[in-house]
Amino acid sequence: MTQTAVSEQVSGRSREGIAQRLAADLRDGFVVNLGVGIPLLVPKHVPPDVEVILHAENGVLGMGPLAAPGHEDPDLTDAGKQPVTLITGAAIVDSAVSFAVVRGGHLDVTVLGALQVSGRGDLANWYVPGQNPAVGGAMDLVAGAREVWVAMEHVDRAGRPKIVERCTFPLTGRGVVTRIYTDLAVFHIVTGELRLAECAPGITPEVIRARTGVPFVEA
Amino acid sequence: MIDKFREDALAALAPILSGATIAVGGFGSSGRPDTLLDTLCDLDRRDLHVIVNNVGGDFTGIGRLLVEGRLRRVTASFPVLPDFYTEYFAGRVEFELIPQGTLAERLRAGGAGIAAFYTPSGAGTMLSDGTFPLGYRADGEVAASIPAKEHRVFGDREYVLEHGIVADFALVKAYQGDRKGNLRFRLSARNFNPLAAMSGRHTVAELEHLVATGDLAPDDIHLPGVFVDEVVLRSELSPRMGVMTRRSA
């Protein structure tokens, strides 16, 4: 497939809209880890009848919103080192137990941003060659979480597809992504097959196909 | 009579010699043993291999060790400090980049007598296939890469072999501790501290509060004193001591 940029503008979901659409798929009782970017917009869109436990890799189970100014506690931060709060019933663990939660299959979903996702579910999101390499918990999260949901813009800033035949950026994990939520569509990846589950309002499969670097099945 | 409390942090860290491997607790500045790290700088040791999640975002803590040119190698998952990368790409410090959960488990395993373990984290990536540069030469060429890790399939999944870390020393920070070395941490400042402490052959803990032996109920101790050799009190000055002039070289 060609991966040339499509210049024609289409208007799909906003970043908030992507987060809202993803949040609608979270189920009551899920243990969820959120990466940076669009994933951090997810909590405010979780439906009121759904309770999720937010996990932060530095050992927080039951993370609440960011701490209000003047109420920051240097001993309580999220994975991005921002001061946060706890929900009632939260628990604190050490880093080894925190990643036992991740790798041991106790994390229902990790929601991550991505540089690229391949049609088979390979994910590249940790390193742009030429920049400063750092990985944090990304490789543990994609290897261990029961589901890896990517929330991202459908194309990059130059208009090139981010859903590709083969990732050109260094991989975070192979065959790990199970869903992709973009401004244009929702995809499910089932046993290595990319399936278009849903088009955003007003968006046709043809519009999506023109902006996707790999063939997909219309489910 | 067991009394692990030391008034003098400098004397407590004096056994650390240049060339030592040191596991350090903390996640960013949260739970980082700043008093011990400043004391280590004052001891003027060099050629250190530090195992820590982050170098940090400024010139305190590990950042101070870095800018003073005291580090030979850093094992970390997320260094942050731009100056660290400058030193890395210039060939002045080695960088063993490993996934954060692997770092935590390697410390725990080393402290628990587990030589190595298989984890799915990093399988099939450049952190396990032998292509990630461990260090550069001064001319910018790659001097050495992190060796390829053994891959093995269990069930239908691929795993990589990771080795436990036994560090010569560990420097950790706790909220409370007693003279037997029993420790309690506070909120997410716990993070890597108990694991780094277990990994160290000789572990020194920096306390916010020294409490009377018996004040910590047995069920409330996060890390028993058997993993801790010496405890010192955190210095009030330590958060600012690290703000210093950068190495001129």
Tell me the per-residue pLDDT of A15-34, one tens digit each, with 9 for 90 and over.
999 999 999 999 999 999 99
Residue B243 pLDDT greater than 60, yes or no: no
Minimal Cα–Cα distance from B149 to chain A, Å?
15
Which amino acid appears at position A11 of this protein?
Answer: S
Please answer yes or no on whether B101 and A102 come within 8 Å at the CB atom. yes
For residue A122, what are its two tokens?
A: 């390979």
pLDDT range class, residue B236, cuts 50, 70, 90: confident
Please answer yes or no on whether A143 and B123 come within 8 Å at the CB atom. yes
**Cβ proximity of B196 and B170 under 8 Å:** yes
pLDDT range class, residue A10, cuts 50, 70, 90: confident
pLDDT, position A5: 65
pLDDT, position A1: 47
pLDDT, position A36: 87
**Cβ proximity of B29 and B56 under 8 Å:** yes
Instruction: List the single residue in A77, A99, A137 with the smallest CB-CB distance to B188.
Output: A77
Please report the ipTM that was assigned to this predicted complex.
Answer: 0.94
Which residues of A are catalytically annotated?
57
Residues above pLDDT 70, as percent of chain B: 95
CATH for the A15-218 domain, from 3.40.1030.10, 3.40.1080.10, 3.40.50.300, 3.10.129.10: 3.40.1080.10
For residue B248, what are its two tokens?
A: 């001129």
Minimal Cα–Cα distance from B85 to chain A, Å?
7
B246 vs B201, residue with greater confidence: B201
Candidates B191, B76, B65, B49; CA nearest to A132 is B76
Average pLDDT, chain A: 95
pLDDT, position A8: 73
Residue B245 pLDDT greater than 60, yes or no: no
User: Which candidate in A103, A140, A166, A168 is best for mutational testing of the B interface (most B CBs within 10 A)?
Assistant: A140
Which amino acid appears at position B225 of this protein?
Answer: G
Q: What domains can be seen in chain B, in order of their start residue?
A: 9-172+187-206 (3.40.1080.10)
Residues A157-188: pLDDT tens digits? Answer: 999 999 999 999 999 999 999 999 999 999 99
pLDDT, position B241: 38
Cα–Cα distance, B92 to B200 (Å, whole number):
25
Task: Outline where B134-244 has alpha helix (H).
Answer: 193-199, 238-241
As a whole number, mean pLDDT of residues B135-146 equals 97
**Cβ proximity of B193 and A94 under 8 Å:** yes
Question: Is A146 in a helix, a strand, or coil?
Answer: coil
As a whole number, mean pLDDT of residues A91-113 equals 97
- Distances from the Cα of B71 to the Cαs of A27, B162, B249, in angstroms? 47, 23, 15
The full set of domain ranges for chain A reads 15-218
Please answer yes or no on whether B119 and A172 come within 8 Å at the CB atom. no
Count each helix (H run) and each strand (E run) in chain B, helices first: 7, 13
Please answer yes or no on whether B100 and A140 come within 8 Å at the CB atom. yes
Residues B41-90: pLDDT tens digits? Answer: 999 999 999 999 999 888 999 999 999 999 999 999 999 999 999 999 99
Residue B165 host element (H or E): none
Task: Name residue A163's beta-bridge partners.
Answer: A117
Cα–Cα distance, A185 to A197 (Å, whole number):
8
Residue A7 pLDDT greater than 90, yes or no: no
Cα–Cα distance, B138 to B82 (Å, whole number):
18
Count the neighbouring beta carbons within 10 Å of the beta carbon of residue B14.
12
- Interface A:B, Cβ pairs < 8 A: 137
pLDDT range class, residue B244, cuts 50, 70, 90: very low
Beta strands B48-51 and B94-97, pairing class: unpaired
Cα–Cα distance, A1 to A9 (Å, whole number):
21
Torsion of CA A182, A184, A189, A193, to 10 degrees: -140
Candidates A53, A21, A57, A60; CA nearest to A39 is A21
pLDDT, position B240: 38
Minimal Cα–Cα distance from B63 to chain A, Å?
16
Instruction: Give pTM, 2 decimals.
Output: 0.94
Task: Name residue B151's beta-bridge partners.
Answer: B160
Please answer yes or no on whether A75 and B123 come within 8 Å at the CB atom. no
